[in-house]
């Protein structure tokens, strides 16, 4: 009796596996969550909480895409003054925010936003640094402004991360011009950039000295990376990026590498047309993982906190489309499992581990919530 | 006994296969408007704006996803709430709404479009996918709508 059950079960398992393979080969099915936590509200009424970081006193800075920078202390929000005017259109606006790794000494805060600065109508992604004095941004320095300005609403990037050597990485999406920008290193857009903390270009950047090249470029062929984090074990910079309906990717950022957009992709256009028949090509780096259909990933953090024993050592990222937080289980650089967290919470714009070891999420239309394990 | 179990197993497999092959979002993948090749010049300004700002969520066929993103094709909200529809595109929309008797409670940010662009995209939406709006949305009408 038991044996029969086992046999029929294994047949089901085998058949369902081969059936799933028609959708996407070697996929890892996302597991439903086992809810062993509660959610605590940290801040409410934030339309799109794009970026978040913590000051040394434990209070938070949160960007709201339309152009407001909030200081959050004991659940109340105060608007930081003198925030640069942002180009709020489509996916553009006030974007990411992080502190310098040596913030306690130098006080630098790094911010990305969509800016109309420079020639032409429209906007493009800009990186600045500034100091926060008496609730106001001061000593604002321009570090990078992508060109050209365009009224296109898509793909501004633009997460910011520092690596262990003090280099700053940030992303700019393809700005809706996928046949023009991502494969051309003489143009901005569809790139990951690497700079020194003062905005100067590191001499060993891959395209330094190449005629006409944008020397700040570190990788190219990226579509729209809106998640970036430093792997705490290897020190490598990891990103994820949105694919078109399908083919969202996780990539490990390596110097001078082409990540393929739009020459190769697992995704298809929104009007159903093919962008590329190919998913692999010599000279193009494959993602370490991809999603089809798209989950629309946003925000990314590695869990290093012992508050979540089952999540520790793995990766968290938000799904805007399916409205959950996804735990991506890792074995080294390999993805070995996926699990849903906070199912149906809303559009998860951002996720980060706070200095207190807790995981915080930015949820569109809601605000900031904190995950408290039972 | 074995036959029953196998039968049951096969049934579960078929069900699984069906779900995998026809997920609810499949609609987004079907191009109902197949005459548009990717390189062709987009004719109407409203169509171009739709492809830039709206298509990611509401889909090429205007059907939305029946969960978070309401349909624009054959939407009763669009036909009975003209002013609110224009306001939603102009200022964004959040909170509970009912479209074709289905509840939606997501949020759509303001896209930062000019009044003329709002008019263009509304006219495109209101005359696409079987929608037959006859009264054209003008820049003036959009400008008059306040938050």
The span from the CA of A117 to the CA of A125, in Å, is 10
Residue B94, both tokens:
């959040």
Whole-number pLDDT of residue B17: 46
**Quick check: is A8 in a domain?**
no
Q: Å from A218 to nearest chain B CA? A: 27
pLDDT of A129-162, one tens digit each? 999 999 999 999 999 999 999 999 999 998 999 9
DSSP code string of A130-166: EEEETTEEEEEEEEEE-S--B---S-----EEE-TTS
Query: What does the pLDDT look like over B117-135, one tens digit per residue?
Result: 999 999 999 999 999 988 9
Name which of A288, A189, A295 is nearest A242 in CA terms. Answer: A295
As a whole number of angstroms, the distance between CA A123 and CA B112 comes to: 12
- Token pair, residue A150, equals 């365009």
Annotation marks residue A155 as catalytic: yes
- Reply yes or no on whether the pLDDT at B16 is more than 70: no
pLDDT for residue A118 is more than 90:
yes
Residues A112, A170 contacting (CB under 8 angstroms): yes
Q: In what helix (H) or strand (E) does residue A98 lie, and over which residues does it extend? A: strand A94-99
Written as one string, the DSSP assignment of A175-218 is TT-TTTSTT-TTS-SSEEEEE-TTSPPPTT-TTTTSTT--TTEE
Task: Report pLDDT for B35.
Answer: 38
Find the mean pLDDT for residues A253-268.
94
A226 interaction partners in chain B (CB closer than 8 Å) = none
Q: Which has more pLDDT, B25 or B16?
A: B16
CA distance linking residue A224 with residue A229, whole number of Å: 15
Q: Is residue A154 part of a domain?
A: yes
Question: Would residue A194 count as lying in a domain?
Answer: yes
Q: Residue B107's pLDDT is what?
A: 84
Two tokens at A362?
């930015």
| Ordered DSSP codes for A290-325 | EESS---EEEEEE---TT-TTTTTSEEEEETTTTEE
- B94 band by pLDDT with thresholds 50, 70 and 90: confident
Residue A4 lies in a domain: no
Output the pLDDT for position B8: 59
How would residue A272 be classed by pLDDT, with cut points 50, 70 and 90? confident
The 8-class DSSP code of residue A80 comes to P
pLDDT tier, B23 (very low <50, low <70, confident <90, very high otherwise): very low
Per-residue pLDDT for A18 more than 70? no
Task: Let me know if residue A304 belongs to a domain.
Answer: no
- The mean per-residue pLDDT over the stretch B10-24 comes to 47
pLDDT of residue B43 exceeding 80: no
Backbone angles phi, psi at A314, to 5 degrees: -115, 180
* Nearest to A358, CA basis, from A280, A304, A310, A297: A304
Q: Between residues B88 and A25, which one has the greater pLDDT?
A: B88
Query: Which one from A71, A155, A178, A242 is the annotated catalytic residue?
Result: A155
pLDDT of residue B9: 59
Domain of residue A223 covers 51-295
pLDDT for residue B30 is more than 70: no
- pLDDT of A330-372, one tens digit each? 999 999 999 999 999 999 999 999 999 999 999 998 999 999 9
CA distance A306 to B109: 36
Look over chain A and give the mean of its residue pLDDT values, rounded to a whole number. 93
Predicted pLDDT at A85: 97
Q: Taking 70 as the threshold, does the pLDDT of residue A20 lie above it?
A: no
Alpha-carbon distances, residue A358 vs A269, A303, A311, A353, A372 (angstroms): 38, 9, 12, 6, 7
pLDDT in tens, A222-256: 999 999 999 999 999 999 999 998 999 999 999 99
Q: In this complex, do B53 and A153 lie within 8 Å of one another by their Cβ atoms?
A: yes
Question: Minimal CA–CA distance to A103: which of A78, A130, A85, A141?
Answer: A130
What pLDDT was estimated at residue B103?
A: 94
User: Residues 6 or more apart from B27 whose CB is under 8 A from it?
Assistant: B59, B61, B63, B65
Q: Which residues of A touch B1 (CB under 8 A)?
A: 1, 4
Q: pLDDT tens digits for A63-79?
A: 999 999 999 999 999 99
Number of domains in chain A: 1
Question: What pLDDT is stored for residue A23 in this prediction?
Answer: 54
Closest chain B residue by Cα to residue A246: B29
- Domain assignment present for residue A227? The answer is yes
What pLDDT score was predicted for residue A14?
Answer: 44
Is there a contact between A89 and B17 if contact means CB atoms under 8 Å apart? Answer: no
A18 belongs to a structural domain: no
| Mean pLDDT value across residues B68-94 | 94
- Mean pLDDT for chain B overall: 79
Domains within chain B, CATH numbers bracketed: 45-147 (1.10.760.10)
CATH number at residue A179: 2.120.10.30
Q: What is the pLDDT of residues A168-209, one digit of tens each?
A: 999 999 999 999 999 999 999 999 999 999 999 999 999 999
By the 8 A CB rule, do A166 and A105 touch?
no
Q: What is the pLDDT of residues B51-73, one digit of tens each?
A: 999 998 999 999 998 888 999 99
CA dihedral A113, A115, A118, A119 (to 10 degrees): 130
Judge whether A313 lies within some domain: no
CB atoms within 10 A of CB B129: 17
Question: How many residues are recorded in chain B?
Answer: 147
Asked if A47 and B2 come within 8 Å (Cβ–Cβ), the reply is no
CA-CA distances (angstroms) from residue B25 to A368, B17, B20, B22, B30? 28, 15, 11, 8, 10
Look at A271 and B107 and tell me if their CB atoms are within 8 Å. Answer: no
């Amino acid at each position: 009796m038991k044996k029969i059950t086992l046999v029929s079960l294994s047949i089901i398992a085998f058949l369902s596996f081969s059936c799933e393979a028609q959708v996407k080969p070697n996929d890892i099915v996302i597991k439903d969550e086992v809810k062993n936590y509660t959610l605590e509200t940290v801040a409410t009424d934030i339309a799109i909480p794009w970026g978040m970081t913590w000051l040394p006193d434990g209070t938070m800075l949160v960007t709201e895409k339309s152009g407001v920078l909030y200081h959050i202390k004991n659940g109340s929000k105060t608007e930081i003054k003198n925030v640069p005017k942002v180009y709020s259109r489509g996916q553009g606006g006030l974007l990411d925010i992080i502190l310098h790794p040596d913030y306690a000494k130098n006080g630098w805060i790094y911010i990305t936003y969509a800016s109309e600065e420079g020639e032409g109508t429209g906007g493009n992604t800009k990186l600045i640094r500034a100091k926060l004095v008496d609730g106001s941004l001061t000593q604002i320095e321009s570090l990078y402004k992508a060109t050209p300005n365009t009224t296109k609403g898509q793909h501004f990037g633009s997460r910011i991360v520092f690596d262990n050597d003090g280099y700053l990485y940030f992303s700019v999406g393809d700005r809706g011009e996928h046949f023009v920008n991502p494969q051309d290193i003489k143009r901005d857009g569809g790139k990951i950039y690497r700079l020194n903390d003062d905005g100067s270009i590191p001499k060993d950047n891959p395209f330094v000295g190449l005629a006409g090249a944008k020397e700040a470029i570190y990788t190219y062929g990226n579509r729209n990376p809106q998640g970036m984090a430093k792997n705490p074990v290897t020190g490598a910079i990891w990103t994820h990026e949105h694919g078109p309906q399908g083919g969202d990717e996780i990539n490990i950022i390596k110097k001078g590498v082409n990540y393929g957009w739009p020459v190769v992709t697992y995704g298809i256009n929104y009007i159903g047309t093919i962008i590329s028949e190919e998913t692999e090509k010599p000279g193009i780096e494959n993602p370490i993982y991809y999603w089809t259909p798209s989950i629309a990933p946003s925000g990314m953090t590695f869990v290093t906190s012992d508050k979540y024993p089952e999540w520790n050592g793995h990766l968290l990222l938000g799904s805007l489309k399916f409205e959950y937080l996804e735990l991506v289980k890792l074995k080294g650089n390999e993805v070995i499992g996926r699990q849903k967290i906070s199912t149906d919470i809303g559009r998860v714009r951002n996720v980060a581990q706070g200095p207190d070891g807790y995981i915080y999420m930015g949820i569109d239309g809601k605000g900031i919530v904190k995950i408290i394990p039972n | 006994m074995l036959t029953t179990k196998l039968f049951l197993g096969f049934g579960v497999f078929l069900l699984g296969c069906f779900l995998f092959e026809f997920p609810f979002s499949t609609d987004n993948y079907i191009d109902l408007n197949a005459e548009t090749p990717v390189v062709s010049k987009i004719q109407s300004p409203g169509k171009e704006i739709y492809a830039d700002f709206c298509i990611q969520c509401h889909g090429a066929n205007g059907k939305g996803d029946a969960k978070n993103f309401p349909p624009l094709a054959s939407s009763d909200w669009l036909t009975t709430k003209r002013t609110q529809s224009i306001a939603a595109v102009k200022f964004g929309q959040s909170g509970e709404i009912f479209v074709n008797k289905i509840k939606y409670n997501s949020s759509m940010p303001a896209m930062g479009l000019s009044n003329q662009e709002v008019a263009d995209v509304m006219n495109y939406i209101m005359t696409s996918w079987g929608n037959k709006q006859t009264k054209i949305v003008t820049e003036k009408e959009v400008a008059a709508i306040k938050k």
